């Protein structure tokens, strides 16, 4: 190692870094000056000056910028080392935990815990968990499109909306039940996925992203403006899923209350929905897992990595793309039906572009293409904001900042998907000099 | 016929504003192939800064054209600084990563800036004073073309011409075109890539801020959320015209402005945005590279 590179890897020239951080702090102070310090009064247009904020920003900026520099230097250092060493993907403790032999038993324990949960937790918790499970399904569905096939879809929420509205409309006008609408919602979403898939087959990358975004907006605007969907007033009184016509609250609940620590305020329909959703998630995980390792799944991966090479290998590109779109949409449709029966009232404001971004963040923050990653991503993104209710105002601010930070420092997501690699092992050990 | 005339004029105005924002998108995309989702927020920040600057400068005694121009200058400078900072924080560290990472980081930045302005200023609408002074010769036809519309057209034409001159005839423009064509080759020829990219963000953001000021004067109210829809429309315009191409962005913006305006007038204002997006999808299906973009054949 030469002196220069040693100096580089040692990395930090403290004085210079400090000076730079100081400059950054000054810059941030200057930058945020007008917007933060001079607050316009919306009623009379006068300006309130809030000078102390400037010092907080400068001070905070100094600390943050120091940390930022330190982390960035560390990241670059690590990247350089990785280039030198050229190892396989690094295994973190999470991977080790997931790959451990006890994994199966661990999963059974988690399942048992989840199944027992509604019988002692609060109705609030159960409701939040249903939401989290819905988002896991959505994340896994989008993962097929974005993570596995590499087709950036920014209008995924449209299919979710279509699922939800299929159930809501059929229930509102014809009184159809949950169990009939579940496949119908999925089917409608799939068909729309195909309809969107056909025209955009030729588009790539960012063009695809903007067209899907446009599609999402079109669906939302139509839902807002059409008479049949009752526009922004939305559709109310959507029935919960039925169980052979049993009244769960009147029949089952009193019996359970006698011998279980069940919350007396618990709505048994929600509990039933929780179990349905749990089953749906397990089913989704199994299906996605099997799909990923199937012939089709490998075609998707090839499509993601290099479209031309993939065609050259004789993969039917059209079929691979369309199935990815359609299957992604199917799960969104299923999740939509469940969502409609969970909240019992839907209107177009539940299906904005921000929802698409939320689902995309789940996939990306969790780790693209990785099933455990998506699950963890959904749990973090749905449960964390619930815990942060105290900082409600700053929630979205932190969310945005977290997205940027995550991309800069851990672009692979919380749990990076591990690609299957085939190791080349020569029959004879190679010369020591060459390695 | 009168309806047609009015719709034509409002479409032209809308298109001009979209063009000012779309130029920033298309320049950034041309150079680093990134959809700068935060660009709409820069436009919004430009509008807010212009408003604050106009109040403070007005208290200092400026008025009339001086006030309009100085508020515009302050807004442009601040927006340029924001653009620069956003690039340094959210995009530069990601220059060598996968395609999706900068996009997510851009969306994150956009959410951050939106909420930052909402928290720092107000979640409500702010009244934007009409800073454009009366223009005398316009008085007889004021019911057809108002002064704000005229100013918007003139400023847009002027800035567009200036931008074209910069890109076509200056060293910076040459460097920008070189970086857009082949980044590695440009670096080898001694172009400072980082500086060129920063300059692109500075120019694009300043244009967006001018757009923010003008739309503020025109619509007379702003809030923290205006950047989202405007940014999306402008990006649609840029894609429509062929992203990466400067005349394409202007053409796309005008097409979009007219389409929206006529749809609002002849069909229903509820379906204005639907028409914009349907048009986008249709054009991209027929011409996947946009109106003026070349569809590049991929070589293997």
- The phi and psi torsions of A66 (rounded to 5 degrees) equal -60, -45
> How many residue pairs from chains A and B have C-beta atoms closer than 8 A?
172
What chain A residue is nearest to B82 in terms of C-alpha separation?
A: A31
Q: If you average pLDDT over residues B147-159, what whole number do you get?
A: 85
Task: Among A405-409, B28-32, B200-204, name the most confident range.
Answer: B200-204
CATH 1.20.120 fits B2-286, yes or no: no
Question: What is the spatial distance between Cα B2 and Cα A423, in angstroms, rounded to a whole number?
Answer: 74
Our CA-based measurement puts residue B137 at a distance from the nearest CA of chain A, in whole angstroms, of 31
> In this structure, are strands B221-222 and B126-127 parallel, antiparallel, or unpaired?
antiparallel
Is the model's pLDDT at A6 over the cut of 50? no
Cβ–Cβ under 8 Å, residues B37 and B107:
yes
Question: Given an 8 Å threshold on Cβ–Cβ distance, is B122 in contact with A42?
Answer: yes
Q: How confident is the model at residue A420 (pLDDT cuts 50, 70, 90)?
A: low
Q: What angle do CA B186, B188, B192 make, to 5 degrees?
A: 60
Q: Which helix (H) or strand (E) holds B203?
A: helix B193-219
For the ranges A225-239, B15-29, B230-244, the one whose mean pLDDT is highest: B15-29
Rg over alpha carbons for chain B, rounded to the nearest Å, is 19
Query: A 128-187 residues with CB below 8 A of B?
Result: 146, 152
Q: Which of A208, A354, A403 to mutate to test the interface with B (most CBs of B within 10 A)?
A: A403
Residue boundaries of the structural domains of chain B: 2-286
CB contacts, 8 Å: B104 with chain A? 360-361, 364, 403, 406-407
What pLDDT score was predicted for residue A1? 38
pLDDT at B295 over 70: no
What does pLDDT average to over chain A?
Answer: 78
The first and second tokens of residue B143, run together, are 């019911």
Q: Would you call A70 an interface residue with chain B, using a CB distance cutoff of 8 Å? A: no
State the pLDDT confidence band at A191, using cuts at 50, 70 and 90: very high
CB atoms within 10 A of CB A43: 10
**Is a pLDDT exceeding 50 seen at residue A434?**
no
Residue B6 has pLDDT above 70, yes or no: yes
Interchain proximity A404–B105, CB inside 8 Å: yes
CB atoms within 10 A of CB A213: 24
Vertex B20: Cα angle to A215 and B279 (nearest 5): 25
| A297-340 residue pLDDT tens | 888 888 888 878 888 888 888 888 888 888 889 999 999 999 98
Residues contacting residue B96 through CB under 8 Å, at least 6 positions apart: none
Mean pLDDT computed over every residue of chain B: 83
- Looking up tokens 């519309």, which residue turns up? B149
Stretch A145-165: mean pLDDT, rounded? Answer: 87
Q: The whole model's pTM is what?
A: 0.82
Contacts of A79 (CB under 8 A, 6+ apart): none
Task: For residues B93 and A71, give the distance between their C-alpha atoms in angstroms, rounded to a whole number.
Answer: 11
Chain B residues close to A404, C-beta within 8 Å: 89-90, 105, 108-109, 112
How many angstroms separate the CA atoms of A249 and A268, rounded?
5
Q: In percent, how much of chain A has pLDDT > 70?
A: 79
pLDDT, position A7: 45
Please judge whether B35 and A209 are an interchain contact, meaning their C-beta atoms are less than 8 angstroms apart.
yes
Tell me if residue B127 falls in helix, strand or coil.
Answer: strand
**Backbone torsions φ then ψ of B292, nearest 5 degrees:** -110, 0
pLDDT score of B106 more than 70: yes
pLDDT attached to residue A5? 44
DSSP-assigned letters across all residues of A124-189: HHHHHHHHHHHHHHHHHHHIIIIIIT----S-THHHHHHHHHHHHHIIIII---HHHHHHHHHHHH
Residue A138 confidence (pLDDT): 92
Give residues 204 to 243 of A whose Cβ lies within 8 Å of B. Answer: 205-207, 209-211, 213-215, 217-218, 221-222, 224-225
B62 pLDDT more than 80: no
């Amino acid at each position: 190692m030469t002196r220069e590179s040693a100096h580089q890897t040692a990395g930090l020239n403290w004085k210079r870094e400090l000076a730079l951080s100081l400059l950054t702090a000054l810059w941030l102070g200057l930058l945020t000056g007008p917007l933060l310090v001079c607050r316009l009064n919306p009623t009379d247009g006068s300006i309130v000056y809030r000078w102390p904020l400037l010092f907080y920003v400068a001070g905070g900026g100094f600390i943050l910028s120091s940390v930022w520099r330190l982390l960035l230097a560390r990241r670059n250092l690590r990247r350089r080392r990785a280039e030198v060493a050229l190892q396989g993907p690094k295994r973190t403790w999470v991977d080790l935990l997931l790959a451990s032999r006890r994994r199966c038993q661990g999963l059974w324990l988690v399942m048992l815990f989840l199944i027992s949960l509604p019988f002692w937790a609060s109705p609030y918790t159960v409701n939040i968990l249903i939401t989290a499970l819905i988002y896991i399904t959505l994340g896994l569905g989008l993962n097929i499109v974005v993570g596995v096939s590499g087709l950036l879809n920014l209008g995924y929420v449209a299919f979710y909306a279509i699922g939800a509205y299929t159930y809501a409309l059929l229930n509102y006008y014809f009184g159809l039940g949950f169990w009939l609408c579940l496949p119908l919602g999925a089917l409608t979403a799939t068909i729309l996925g195909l309809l969107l898939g056909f025209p955009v087959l030729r588009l790539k990358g960012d063009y695809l992203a903007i067209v899907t975004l446009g599609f999402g907006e079109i669906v939302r605007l139509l839902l807002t403006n059409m008479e049949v969907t009752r526009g922004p007033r939305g559709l109310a009184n959507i029935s919960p899923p039925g169980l052979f016509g049993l009244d769960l609250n009147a029949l089952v609940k009193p019996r359970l209350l006698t011998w279980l620590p069940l919350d007396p305020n618990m709505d048994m329909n929600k509990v039933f929905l929780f179990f349905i959703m749990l089953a749906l998630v397990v089913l989704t995980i199994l299906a996605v897992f099997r799909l990923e390792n199937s012939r089709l799944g490998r075609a998707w991966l090839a499509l993601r990595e290099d479209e031309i090479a993939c065609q050259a290998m004789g993969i039917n590109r059209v079929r691979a793309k369309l199935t990815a779109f359609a299957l992604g949409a199917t799960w969104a449709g299923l999740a939509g039906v469940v969502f409609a029966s969970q909240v019992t009232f839907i209107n177009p404001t539940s299906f904005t572009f921000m929802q698409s971004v939320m689902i995309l963040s789940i996939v990306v923050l969790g780790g693209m293409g990785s099933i455990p990653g998506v699950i963890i991503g959904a749990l973090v993104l749905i449960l964390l904001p619930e815990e942060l209710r105290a900082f409600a105002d700053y929630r979205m601010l932190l969310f945005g900042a977290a997205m940027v930070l995550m991309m800069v420092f851990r672009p692979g997501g919380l749990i990076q998907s591990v690609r299957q690699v085939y190791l080349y092992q020569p029959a004879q050990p190679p010369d020591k000099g060459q390695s | 016929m009168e309806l047609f005339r009015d719709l034509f004029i409002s479409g032209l105005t809308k298109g001009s504003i979209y063009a000012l924002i779309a130029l920033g998108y298309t320049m950034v995309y041309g150079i680093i192939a990134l959809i700068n989702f935060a660009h709409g927020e820069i436009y919004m920040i430009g509008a807010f800064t212009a408003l604050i600057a106009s109040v403070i400068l007005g208290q200092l005694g400026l008025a009339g054209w001086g006030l309009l121009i100085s508020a515009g200058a302050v807004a442009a400078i601040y927006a340029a600084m924001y653009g620069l900072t956003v690039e340094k924080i959210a995009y530069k560290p990601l220059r060598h990563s996968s395609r999706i990472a900068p996009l997510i980081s851009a969306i994150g930045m956009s959410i951050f800036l939106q909420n930052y302005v909402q928290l720092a200023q107000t979640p409500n609408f702010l009244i934007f004073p009409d800073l454009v002074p009366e223009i005398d010769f316009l008085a007889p036809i004021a019911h057809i073309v108002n002064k704000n519309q005229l100013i918007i057209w003139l400023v847009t034409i002027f800035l567009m011409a200036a931008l074209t001159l910069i890109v076509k005839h200056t060293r910076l423009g040459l460097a920008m075109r070189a970086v857009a064509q082949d980044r590695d080759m440009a670096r080898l020829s001694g172009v400072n890539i980082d500086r060129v990219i920063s300059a692109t963000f500075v120019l694009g953001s300043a244009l967006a801020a001018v757009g923010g000021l003008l739309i503020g004067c025109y619509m007379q109210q702003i809030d923290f959320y205006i950047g989202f829809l405007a940014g999306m429309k402008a990006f649609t315009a840029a894609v429509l015209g062929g992203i990466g191409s400067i005349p394409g962005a202007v053409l796309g913006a005008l097409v979009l402005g007219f389409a929206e305006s006529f749809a609002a007038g002849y069909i229903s204002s509820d379906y204005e945005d639907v028409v914009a997006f349907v048009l986008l999808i249709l054009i991209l299906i027929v011409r996947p590279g946009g109106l003026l973009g070349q569809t590049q054949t991929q070589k293997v």
